[in-house]
Amino acid sequence: MELIRGLYNLRTRQRGCVLTIGAFDGIHLGHQEMIRVLRERAAEYGLPAALLSFEPTPREFFAKGTPPARLTRFREKYQALERYGVERFVCLRFDDCMRRLSREDFVNEVLVKALGARHIVVGHDFRFGRDNQGDLDCLRSLGAAAGFEVTVVPPFEVDGERVSSSSIREALAVGDMARAAKLLGRPYRMTGKAIHGQKLGRKLGFPTANLRLQRRATPVAGIFAIRVTGAGLHDAPGVASLGTRPAVNGKELLLEAHVFDFSGDLYRRQLHVDFIAYLREERWFENMDALIEQINRDAAEARQILGS
């Protein structure tokens, strides 16, 4: 998949495409349906299937100090889009200049002149332009003048529930990993490179691979039954803590993953951690004995859930 960052790079290329637009946070089943339709239209036109997104996302830009928790950071989104068959990922910076673009300028300058969009695939609630003044009727009208057509993808539902990034965040926030997985089409996953930690887990008999989250806010926190893939592992069962580690007076947000019955070295290896079940919230313990006792209970519960 080709990655293009910045409007300047677009203006120097001016290549045609079939395009979809959005944050695509999580790449859930609704997003996957959008990509399926995108690829179908791209095949009809004989053009690349392209996706336009923004960094930061518009919601993050307007939220300022309290951004919504991301389901996927940039690297995770890139990997998922590539896996689902997007051929060109265009990422533009969302700033005051982009925010002030009128509906007409966004369509004519970005979608037509820069991207050369010949067909656009969007969701039923798509809005665009300054203050979200542009709607589907406006997009169709501007498209007719500019020479592109529009396909609108209806809401995607699973068991009567509309799939959305917001509903997945809600599920994760209350530890409903089964509902989140149903809407995502897979278990919720975080990816990162294992770093050196304080080695406390090793001293307690539960060595961990520590992953920095590299995001301003996380949609999940607590203790979880997990499966780990990467560094020669595939769906390896384990238990993980995600948070600031109040039991040891920690401050940094960290994912600590312990893989059952594994003694290898995972340092600096890229790992994918799938969150299978929520066990409990993080909490402080009055002494190490109490902490070790609880860790053993967590591990036993995780093993039972995972069938390990």
User: Strand, coil or helix: what is 296?
Assistant: helix
| 8 and 146 together in one domain | yes
Is residue 273 one of the residues assigned to a domain? yes
Tokens of residue 202, six digits: 């090793």
Task: Please name the amino acid found at residue 110.
Answer: V
| 134 and 239 together in one domain | no
Which residues fall within 8 angstroms of residue 249, CB to CB, at 6 or more apart?
A: none
Q: What is the pLDDT of residue 166?
A: 94
Q: What is the pLDDT of residue 206?
A: 79
| 215 and 100 together in one domain | no
| 192 and 152 together in one domain | no
| 138 and 80 together in one domain | yes
**Which residue(s) pair with 238 in the sheet?**
226, 259
Rounded Cα gap, residues 61 and 71, in angstroms: 16
Is residue 172 one of the residues assigned to a domain? no
Is residue 167 one of the residues assigned to a domain? no
**Which residue(s) pair with 212 in the sheet?**
254
What total number of domains does the chain contain?
2
pLDDT in tens, 43-64: 999 999 999 999 999 988 998 7
pLDDT in tens, 7-33: 777 765 557 999 999 999 999 999 999
CB contact at 8 A, 18 and 87: no
pLDDT in tens, 252-299: 789 999 999 998 888 889 999 999 999 999 888 878 888 889 999 999
| 9 and 122 together in one domain | yes
Q: What is the pLDDT of residue 107?
A: 97
Rounded Cα gap, residues 254 and 210, in angstroms: 7
- Structural domain of 143: 2-158
- Which DSSP category does 154 fall into? P
